[in-house]
Structure 1
């Protein structure tokens, strides 16, 4: 591993009397000095809980983040994770969550110096834009399994009603998609400060899973592709192509009205007065109001999510990728076989829960419209008649619904992004995780990266090792390469084929099938109807 080799180089140079830069354990920025945790066993220096913006509280609620922090922080012990952002399911803050949660974690190989100029991998966590935490993405398997040294950073951003409250009052007196703006502020922070940690701001790759991969997608299409050189490559595991209504659409305006009512501000008068009331409300009032939103949306999984704001997201993803309005950078995206499994079973409304014994085609339709409210029955009927006939799923409404949802939201999104990158002359890599032992459900591929020191059986370990090698080499060299694994070629067609097939005992290449291509074309052809 790099730290051991680099450490030896530094030691030899020191013995020989050659002047060398000292490895980093403390970093001084213009607003504070941060001392990390040096772990000789893992050969990593952990800079945890580095504040990158002012606390988004009071007057700064639903405003763009103020970054870098305006107050000098002095000497900061950066050895422990800071507070996590408040999840929408919470009714109050907790000992580990707070509004003041805009922190970045920077993990560097132990021998890194201020002049190392290492490539940087930035990770956005998943959680439906309503939950999750950066602490769920530890760095060991990334840094230790990279053939060449890299820096790994994880970012926290406002969630749910704190980060994605929409509606005209917010647009007129605040910032829409504040959570995405938090992420962008972290990328600007990296451009300004990562060299202090031994990183190269000219070699930044963004990455995420689920909503985190959706985030990388939104940064690709943000500002119609004018990313300001904030990143130079993008990766995504199961990119979430979610319902993206305009902030003035009734779906969003109704959510705002309902939220303001739950927070006790609904009768405050004008939109500005309501916003003033909301900003003055105690944090637990805001937390509780968001939780009540979920309690009243029993057919919806993640109603408080990114929206089309006409500014950062001026063009929705499907149109943006088809028309070339996205950042022209190399991409690596993929998905899992059973992306749509189990989602419906968690819905409280039995009329939208396809696991119910009395489920019907209408139940499947209700499940899908709970996530894409403008999806018409006519389009649904066409889909089940021509593309998803019940007989293909053992007459199981649950299996039929999960296949539709998994493809329209996740699987076809990876196909879209990789295919569009290819069509516009960019390197594009696509994968397909299929694993009956570790699971092929949504998020199962993260076993390869964030499952600690777990030891897998031989076939699974080979897949895990390959994933780690492919992903980290893409970050360091722009091409996914893994030891003792097949060559992963760049896409050669508009479906992003060939995909690398990650199955225990079968690491191979496959093309996106004609049937899947047809189904993806159907969903993407409905982008105007379902606001994707």
Structure 2
């Protein structure tokens, strides 16, 4: 295995790949023949990997395919070898982010297209029945693409012992505008079912890339982690296939759900369709110009309704749908297929999601009462909670102001528990000895800082660089991916000397704290238990009851 000290040097040497799409010419270009198309990728001489960019897993989602279950790819076998050396179009981005910062973002930018259901595949040229990683990107279900997530350092770190598949899925209104009218075509929660269709594609075709369909690990961060929680709940339904053997969820974004025919989604669909001059008419929306819908997807991204922290979120479809049940309830009750799991969150995951305006003014005459009032109003805006309810009163008691530096920190911990930490705990608890829990505590450890280690070619500036921490974190994940049975402790050589053995979460609810010494930036990971940053048992049980009883 590659030594831990080599990884960042390797990542730095690969950085030019992120800005140049030109394949190197000295190796024969790899070709893969699928039943519906042939793709020619390129061999990266620096990394030693074969790369296929923009392999189609489903048909275009434009026009009559909007808000329908992703359709099979059209036959392109008569077109010769298709070019798989450049990135595919992004799915339409509802907001700036990723490769399109605010200064250059436009809802109708040319880099986006409704024809966007592609995967990027990275592999050892001699791969044969290797374990497979499938990455599902985050971005609040409204932005990002496969472009930001190059798994090359991770594959090289595994001694080129796995195949990686990076998927794209529909975003914003195209993936999460929901109406009962879409149910008959399987169009509800399209962004979630796109991921399911991509995983079905992996089961059918990954052997042609040298991967083993029976050794699939799915990994997602933020909204990608939330997608995985929904997939875990949905695929547990009787009669559905097992599409993976292990899962990694990093700060999974489990927003409030609710029935797809409830007021949140009905109001959104009505207002969106009315703005498109298609009031409550799905067929009309399917015929509308793409640029009109892309602009509206952007506009409605900032049109929030009380009870939900974001505009575009999955809903509960009920019997006959894909997301049949409330995912929070399924997780808490453990109604899941047994899966090897790594689940984690960041120390300050909630900080950026709560406004500092909930801090009372410095000259407040009754700061405690005002803090409670401001926090209560914030909770009603973000979650389906009634103002003045017993539930709000219980929250204030469970999170007393005296336990926190200020009211913002208090609100941030609530958000962290409800959305990230407690869902991690419910999942990990349900898997017993097959689950491992972590807390990312590097630097300020706000949301998504861990991307610096997961995908350093794009996100390397988000956290301090540390080859030994890379080994402590990514080495353990790679061990899970490539070992049988999956085990983050299986390959000690992938982790730095002295790195602790990672106990299962079922063993006294212990977890691994990913930490660095300062200023030397050497891994100081350790095993712990009981920190409130992962969500205490009392608070998580409380929120489980609220979410189950409230159906969200």
- TM-score interval (norm. to shorter): 0.7 to 0.9
Matched, 1:194 2:206: yes
How big is the shift at 1:446?
1.6
Structure 1 residues 455 and 370: alpha-carbon distance in aligned structure 2, compared to 1, 3 A threshold? closer
Q: Which residue of 2 aligns with 1:512?
A: 530
Alignment TM-score, normalising by the size of structure 2: 0.83
1:476-491 alignment to 2 at 5 Å? 476-477=482-483, 478-481=486-489, 482-483=494-495, 484=497, 485-491=499-505
User: 1:306 aligned to 2:333?
Assistant: no
| Distance (Å, rounded) in 2 between the aligned partners of 1:457 and 1:321 | 31
Residues 24-423 of structure 1 aligned to structure 2 (within 5 Å)? 25-72=30-77, 74-89=80-95, 92-109=107-124, 111-113=125-127, 116-147=128-159, 149-172=161-184, 175-226=187-238, 227-266=240-279, 274-297=281-304, 301-310=309-318, 311-345=321-355, 353-354=357-358, 360-374=371-385, 377-379=388-390, 381-394=392-405, 396-422=406-432
1:433 pairs, out of 434, 440, 444, with: 440
What are the superposed Cα offsets for residues 447-498 of structure 1, whole Å, 9 maximum, x if unpaired? 11212295999994322221110011100111113422221122225xx721
Structure 1 residue 321 displacement after superposition: 2.4
What is the aligned partner in structure 2 of residue 9 from structure 1? none
Change (3 A) 1:197 1:260: same
* TM-score with structure 1 setting the length: 0.86
**Which residue number in structure 2 is paired with residue 13 of structure 1?**
none
In structure 2, relative to structure 1, the CA distance for the partners of 1:490 and 1:258 (3 Å cut) is same
* SS of residue matched to 2:351: coil
Q: Which residue of 2 aligns with 1:523?
A: 543
Distance in 2, Cα, partners of 1:368 & 1:164:
23
Structure-2 residue corresponding to 1:443:
448
Q: Which structure 2 segments of 5+ residues have no match?
A: 3-26, 97-105, 365-369, 518-523
In structure 2, do the counterparts of structure 1 residues 295 and 513 end up closer, same or farther at CA, with 3 Å as the change threshold? Answer: closer
Deviation at 1:133, TM superposition (A): 1.1
Contact 1:53 1:68 in 2 (8 A): yes
Q: Deviations 1:213-267 (Å, cap 9, x if unpaired)?
A: 111111111143455121111111011121111111111111111111111111x
Corresponding residue SS for 1:76: strand
Deviation (angstroms), 1:407: 1.2
C-alpha distance in structure 2 between counterparts of 1:165 and 1:95, whole Å: 22
- Return the alpha-carbon distance in structure 2 between the equivalents of residues 456 and 92 of structure 1: 26
After superposition, the Cα gap between the structure-2 partners of 1:469 and 1:199, relative to the gap in structure 1 and judged at 3 Å, is same
Q: How many correspondences in the alignment?
A: 490
Q: CA deviation at 1:292?
A: 2.4
- CA contact under 8 A between 1:207 and 1:236: conserved in structure 2? yes
Which of residues 452, 455, 471 is equivalent to 1:465?
471
Q: What is the RMSD computed on CA atoms of the aligned residues?
A: 2.6
Q: Which residue of 2 aligns with 1:11?
A: none
Q: CA deviation at 1:46?
A: 1.2
In structure 1, the residue matched to 2:367 is: none
Q: 1:369 to 1:451 in 2, by over 3 A?
A: farther
For the 8 Å contact 1:143–1:152, the answer to whether it is kept is yes
> For structure 1, which segment, 196-205 or 502-511, has the greater mean C-alpha deviation from structure 2 after superposition?
502-511
Structure 2 contact 32–208 (Cα < 8 Å) conserved? yes
